[in-house]
Structure 1
Amino acid sequence: MNRKYRVMIIDDEESARRLMRAAIKWDLMNMEVVGEAASGIEAINIIDELRPDIAFVDISMPFMDGIEFTETATERYPNLVIIIMTAIDKFEYARKCVSLPVFDYMLKPMVREEIEQVLEKVKKKLDAEPDYWETVKKEADIVPESFYASTDTDQIIKYLEENFTDSKLNLASLAQHFGFSASYLSRKFKADTGKKFIEYLTDLRMKKAVKIAESGVKMYRAAAEVGIPDPNYFSRCFKKYTGVSYSDYVAGKVG
C-alpha cells in the first residue's frame, strides 16, 4: 500500500507558499500539503500537529530563519526531509551554514519541473524507509505506562509554567527533556489535562500577553516576552484567544 507523504511549506512570503501549493500536482505524486508557516517560529509551534515527512524551508525569514529552524528541526525530527529554498545571492551562504542533513537546496524562483524532480528523489528515499511517524506512534503504544511513572503531569505543567516564554519550546523538546516519546507525551497530556499540548502552551502565553496588553505595551514587545517573537503569528494567536486584535484590546484597556 502506497504511503501518502505529508508536506509543509515554510516561507514568509504568502505568494510563494500559494504558488507552490498551486504549481505542483501533489495528488499525482502521492503527497499532500498539510500546512504552512510564515516563519521558523510558527513552524516550530505547529509541526507536531502537522507531522510532515517533507519540509520546504525558505532560508531568509524573520525571527527564526531557515538555518536556525533547520538546526532545531533536524535535532528533534531526525527523519524529516528538509529542502532549503534560497535566492541566488544566498546560495553559498546556505551551503556554508548548513552542515546538517539537508536533502537538497533549490534556487528561487523555483521551476515546477525542478521541484517535481527533487520530490521524485525524496519519494524514492521515503519509500525505502519505514513510516517515521507511524513507527513513533507504535513504539509509544507498546511502552508500558509504568516506564514513565516517575514523571507526573504536575511536573510537566510546572516546567511549562517556568519555561513557556522559550520560543523554541514545543512538544518534541518537552518530550526530550522528560525522556518521553512525543507521541506518548501528547496522549498523556491530553488525557490528564483535557487539552492538546499546543493549546495549553498557547493559553499560557496568551494569558501573559493579555496582562502585558493591559499596560499598553507595543505588540512586538509583548510577542517577544511571551515566547512568540513573530508578531504576525502572535497576532493570530491573540485574536483567536481574545476575539479582538491586540491593538483593539490595548485601545479598549488604555483608552
Structure 2
Amino acid sequence: MSRKYRVMIIDDEQSARKLLGASIDWESLNMEVVGEAASGIEAINIIDELRPDIAFVDISMPFMNGIEFTETATERYPNLIIIIMTAIDQFEYARKCVSLPVFEYMLKPMVRAEITKVLERAKDKLDVNVEAWDRSRKEQDETANAEADATDRIKKYVEENFADPKLNLAYVAQHFGFSSSYLSRKFKQDTGVGFVEYLTEIRMAKAIQIAKTKTKMYQAAAQVGIPDPNYFSRCFKKYTGVSYSEYAS
C-alpha cells in the first residue's frame, strides 16, 4: 500500500497501552501506532491530528467511556474501524450496543494471536476500501479529463463555425450531446467566461479584421454570423468602445 494504516490505542491504563503497542508486529500488517490516549475525551481532542484508520478503545474509562467515544468518533469518521476492549463482566453490556459501528469486541486480557487475526481482518477491509476509493478517484479523473477534452473541442468548434448564424448555446449543446444548462455551467467553469461571451468575442475579433477592409456593416454582420445589423452594431460598440462606422472609416 502507498501508506501504512494508522492505529490509535485508547485506554486509561498506561500499562495496557504499552503492552498492546509492544506485543504486535505492526510492520508485518502494514500498520503503525500513531498515538495513544488515556480517555475518550483526550482521544477526541487529538483524533483530528492523528487521523487513525483503526482505534482500540477500552470500554471503561473516566469522563467519556468507550461507547460514548465510539458514538462521537464515528459520526466524524464513519470509516474508522473501532475495536472495543472490555473485561468479561462488561462484555454483555458491550454486546448490547449492537447499533454502534463496532468492528470487533475483544475480552481482556487479550491474546496476541487473536489480536493479530482481528487486525488482519481489519486490514482486509481497509484494503478493499482503499481499492474502491482509488477506483472512484480514477473514474472521476477520467470523467474530468473527458469533460475538459470536450470543452477544448467545443472551443475549436466555435472558432471554426462562428459565422453560422444558427450557432448558439442550445445548438452547440445539442451537437455535443449536453443539456444547455450543463454546457453553460461547465464551459464557464473550465474557461472562466460564459459561452455567449466567448462566442461574441470570437465574432467581434473577426469583425474588427473585417472593419479594417472598409466592408459595409451589414456585410460584416453576416460574415460573423450575426444577420441583424442593429444587434451587431450594439455588440461591436460594446466590445470596441466605438461604432463600426467609426472603426471602419
TM-score by length of 1: 0.51
Residue identity opposite 2:73 in structure 1: A
Alpha carbon RMSD of aligned pairs, Å? 2.5
In structure 1, the partner of 2:99 is 99
Following superposition, the deviation at residue 133 of structure 1 comes to 10
Residue identity opposite 2:111 in structure 1: V
Question: Is the contact made by 1:81 and 1:122 (CA closer than 8 Å) also made in structure 2?
Answer: yes
In structure 2, the partner of 1:53 is 53
In structure 2, the partner of 1:11 is 11
In structure 2, the partner of 1:111 is 111
In structure 2, the partner of 1:32 is 32
Question: Is the contact made by 1:51 and 1:133 (CA closer than 8 Å) also made in structure 2?
Answer: no
Q: Distance in 2 between matches of 1:25 and 1:5?
A: 13
In structure 1, the partner of 2:152 is none
Q: Distance in 2 between matches of 1:71 and 1:32?
A: 24
Residue aligned with 1:128, SS: helix
Following superposition, the deviation at residue 130 of structure 1 comes to 2.3
Cα distance change, pair 125–31 in 1 and its aligned pair in 2 (3 A): same
Moved over 6 A (4+): 131-134
Higher deviation after alignment, 48-57 or 97-106: 97-106
Following superposition, the deviation at residue 3 of structure 1 comes to 3.5
Q: Distance in 1 between matches of 2:11 and 2:38?
A: 5
Residue aligned with 1:62, SS: coil
Cα distance change, pair 48–132 in 1 and its aligned pair in 2 (3 A): farther
Following superposition, the deviation at residue 97 of structure 1 comes to 2.7
Residues 46-78 of structure 1: CA deviation (Å, up to 9, x unaligned): 000000000000000000000100011111110
Following superposition, the deviation at residue 99 of structure 1 comes to 1.5
Cα distance change, pair 132–82 in 1 and its aligned pair in 2 (3 A): farther
Alignment of 1:206-245 (within 5 A): none
Q: Distance in 2 between matches of 1:75 and 1:131?
A: 23
In structure 2, the partner of 1:83 is 83
TM-score by length of 2: 0.52
Question: Is the contact made by 1:39 and 1:63 (CA closer than 8 Å) also made in structure 2?
Answer: yes
Residues 75-110 of structure 1: CA deviation (Å, up to 9, x unaligned): 111000000000010000001134211000000000
Alignment of 1:55-70 (within 5 A): 55-70=55-70
Residue identity opposite 1:38 in structure 2: A
Residues 15-39 of structure 1: CA deviation (Å, up to 9, x unaligned): 0000001100111111000000000
In structure 2, the partner of 1:124 is 124
Residue aligned with 1:17, SS: helix
